[in-house]
Structure 1
Amino acid sequence: MKNYDKSVSMLAESKAVLAGGVASSLRASMKPTPLFAESASGARLRDVDGNEYIDYMLAYGPLILGHANPVLTSAILEAMNKGYTYGLQHSGEIELSKLLTEVLPCADKVCLSGSGTEAVMLALRLSRAYTGKTKVVRFHGHYHGWSDSIFTSFPAPDMKSQAADAGADKVPPGTAGQSENALEDVILLPWNEPEVLEATLRSRAHEIAAVISEPVMCNSGCIAPREGFLEQMRALTQELGIVLILDEVITGFRLSIGGAHGRFGIKPDLVTIGKAMGGGIAISAVAGKAEIMNLVDSGQVNHLGTLNGNGVSTAAALATIGELAKDNGAAYTHLERIATDLAAGIRGLFEKHGIGGVVNQVGPVFHMMFTDQKEVVHFDQFQQRDAGKYTRFAELMLEEGVLVRPNGLWYVSIVHGAEEVNLTLQAIDRIFARL
């Protein structure tokens, strides 16, 4: 049995001074206790009790290059030696913005910010200013940050709230303390249901400023869009004068160098990106059509943020994207192969042990769940998974030296290899025998 005494002790110490004992509420769900990290490198992380893990959580997604990547570290140190942030402009902002307009198919111009939540806030504000309308369509099971105006309840094992049924009159808030009026402009729809989407957009186009959607429902089962669904969404929003926002905070620079919209051949009006773009350093962006982004140029839409585009974050993004793009994007071939080997291996182990389960994979990201269903292609099906069983599985994986998110979403990095895959599948084999 692994010992977590130091993590338990530090959590108690932390709770005395840090609200909740963790810096992000999501982290509190880890069993048997939220871990405290000591160090990490490559695909491995070590906790304060001396336990080492193969890491598939990867800081909830940003660490696409793995921990302490030497190229990224060197770029960050070089930038820091020139000064962390200036409150003035610098060449890194221009260089990164140029690069983003080159690699992201929808990007004429960009705005730089610090987090995915901030990027979504700006994208929504731009959409409302551009259209002169206020309503926003979003979908059950998608996550767009935790700001009051878009954070609805998110039903997953590591978040406590439960989503209301589709069609409910009142949109459920994601947390206590949200303004009662904050979600009045949100229209909450089921995803992957083209008839519902079309009926809503056609009947309410006069009041809808934007449709915001993850291109893949990563947090809720890694559910891929139904064939033609994103294309229909794009065509309808274009026809009806509604801004299409694809939230690629997770999928951006993970599904391809051009994000999911580049991979799928969809050109939204705006895209939000973050997480993997900085390789672990806080940075995000909104990118899109010049005529919408020009609202920032003209001053009609304010874009604020003390640390926006600072030298450390822009250097990190440039280094990360450079590593992902070199050798004609060989990193993506590797990422997808590792994810595919893991997903296929887990499916085989479900079958070997007679355990009901599904692994949904889109490119180098996948979601593992315990369920008796043969497939999970809709949010309602995802809701029927055995979330408690997966939470227990994640706890047992810690005992085996493997760190995974308690909600079932797995990430891989460019430094995960065959050794990590084999050790991980051996660990799952042993755990399934116990389950």
Structure 2
Amino acid sequence: MTSYSESQRLLAEASSCLAGGVASSLRAAMKPVPLYAASASGSRIRDVDGNEYIDYLLAYGPSVLGHAHPGLIERIHRAMQHGITFGLQHEGELALAKRLTEILPCADQVAFSGSGTEAVMLALRLARAYTGKRRIVRFHGHYHGWSDGIFTSFPSADMRVSGAVGGAADTILPGTAGQSESSLEDIILLPWNDEQAIESLLRDSHADIAAVITEPVMCNSGCIAPKPGYLEKLRELTAELGVVLIFDEVITGFRLALGGAQQRFGITPDLMTMGKALGGGIALSAVGGKRDIMKLIEDGTVSHLGTLNGSGVAMAAGLATIDELERNDGEALARMERLADSLTGGLRTLLEQHGIQGVVNGIGPVFHFMFVPLAEVTDFDAFSKRDSARYATFAELMLQEGVLVRPSGLWYVSAAHTEQDIAATLAAADRVLARLA
């Protein structure tokens, strides 16, 4: 039996001085106990009890190169020797901004911040200032950070569960206690992948709507791909009716392609947010967009603040991550996708062999594994029918087998994973699914 006694001891000690015993509420959902890490390298992470795991959590997404990547570490160390942060401009800031405007289809200019939540806040302010309108359209099951003005209830195995799913007329429930009662008054919540719903709303109400914000793939709730023509319709409608289209590429950026989902699908939004993989594990996010929108920062119309924005360490991490993903014509991204395809295909085969109903949705090196009594999951209503408790049990049993996965069902494959990792993971999943069956 795997021992987690030291993690349990440290959690008990932390609970006396650290609220909730963990630094992020997401981590509290891990069973049998939120793990304490000791070290990590490549695709492996080790806990304080000496257990080693193949890691598909990847720090909830940022570790796209794997842990302690030598090239990334070397670049960060070199940058730190010149000073960690200056409160002044430096050449690294300029270098990363140039690279991003070359890579990202929609980015004439970029602005740096520290988290995906901050990037979304800035993008929404830019959209409102640019259009002179206030309302924002977002979609059920999408996640855009936890700021008061966008964080709605999000039923998931490792986030707060509240509220019913429905259309724009339903009451929009906050994602947490303590949000301002008026914080979501400007939000319109719609079902995603429904062309009729978005077209009807925009044609009726575009005079009040500043922006539509969307994950180009619904990664946070089932890795659901856009239906053929859906993103094209969003782009067509928003352009016609004077509404800013924002792609939240915090997950899809630097995963589905170096230029993100917009490159992969050939759809260019007005603004995009990016984070997670951009910094390779260092806190870094950005907004990129059209020059006529981004210039609102330059002329002072929109304030963009942040003490650590553009720090030397973060810029070095971003440049190193891009260099590694670009190397040999994007070999790392192609390998990640091949490994993910092998892993998702193997999981589907195992579900069938064990007679368990489930769905594995994936695109690129990110996928969602769920137990659900359906042949496919193509919308949020279907995703909401999954057996999240059964999957949490699966995740706990996989931990005992030496595989770390997120209790919600969202998996990431990194540039450090190998064919041997995939084979070992499928062997572990075979044993676990036999127990669940």
Q: Deviations over 1:245-288 (max 9, x none)?
A: 00000110011100011110010000000000000000000000
**Residue 12 of structure 1 aligns with which residue?**
12
The within-5 A match list for 1:116-265 is 116-167=116-167, 168-265=169-266
Write the distance in 2 (CA, Å) between the matches of 1:79 and 1:222.
36
Write the distance in 1 (CA, Å) between the matches of 2:177 and 2:227.
34
Write the distance in 2 (CA, Å) between the matches of 1:405 and 1:316.
25
Counterpart contact for 1:109–1:290, Cα < 8 Å: yes
Counterpart contact for 1:115–1:283, Cα < 8 Å: yes
Task: Classify the secondary structure of the residue corresponding to 1:53.
Answer: strand
Amino acid at match of 2:284: I
Q: Verify: 1:431 aligned to 2:408, yes or no.
A: no
Write the distance in 1 (CA, Å) between the matches of 2:14 and 2:227.
45
Counterpart contact for 1:278–1:317, Cα < 8 Å: yes
Task: Classify the secondary structure of the residue corresponding to 1:256.
Answer: coil
**Residue 396 of structure 2 aligns with which residue?**
395
Write the distance in 1 (CA, Å) between the matches of 2:161 and 2:83.
42
Amino acid at match of 1:383: S
Amino acid at match of 2:199: E
Amino acid at match of 1:431: V
**Residue 357 of structure 1 aligns with which residue?**
358
Q: Verify: 1:410 aligned to 2:408, yes or no.
A: no
Task: Classify the secondary structure of the residue corresponding to 2:434.
Answer: helix
Counterpart contact for 2:165–2:381, Cα < 8 Å: no
Task: Classify the secondary structure of the residue corresponding to 2:94.
Answer: helix
Counterpart contact for 1:194–1:229, Cα < 8 Å: yes
Unmatched tracts of structure 1, length 5 or more: none
Amino acid at match of 1:303: H
Shift of residue 332 of structure 1?
1.3
Amino acid at match of 2:157: P
Unmatched tracts of structure 2, length 5 or more: none
Amino acid at match of 1:63: S
Task: Classify the secondary structure of the residue corresponding to 1:206.
Answer: helix
The within-5 A match list for 1:237-386 is 237-386=238-387
Amino acid at match of 2:282: I
Counterpart contact for 1:119–1:273, Cα < 8 Å: yes
**Residue 41 of structure 1 aligns with which residue?**
41
Task: Classify the secondary structure of the residue corresponding to 1:205.
Answer: helix
**Residue 90 of structure 1 aligns with which residue?**
90
Amino acid at match of 1:143: Y
Write the distance in 2 (CA, Å) between the matches of 1:20 and 1:184.
30
Number of positions where the alignment pairs a residue of Structure 1 with one of Structure 2 = 435
Counterpart contact for 2:22–2:28, Cα < 8 Å: yes
Task: Classify the secondary structure of the residue corresponding to 1:219.
Answer: helix
Q: Deviations over 1:150-206 (max 9, x none)?
A: 000001011122343212442110000000010000000000000001000110100
Task: Classify the secondary structure of the residue corresponding to 2:2.
Answer: coil
Write the distance in 2 (CA, Å) between the matches of 1:90 and 1:263.
32
Write the distance in 2 (CA, Å) between the matches of 1:329 and 1:428.
30
Write the distance in 2 (CA, Å) between the matches of 1:384 and 1:286.
34
Q: Deviations over 1:312-344 (max 9, x none)?
A: 000000000000001111111101000000000
Write the distance in 1 (CA, Å) between the matches of 2:12 and 2:349.
41
**Residue 114 of structure 1 aligns with which residue?**
114
Amino acid at match of 1:350: L
Write the distance in 2 (CA, Å) between the matches of 1:201 and 1:21.
44
Q: Deviations over 1:216-258 (max 9, x none)?
A: 0001000000110000000000000000000000110011100
Percent identity over paired residues: 64
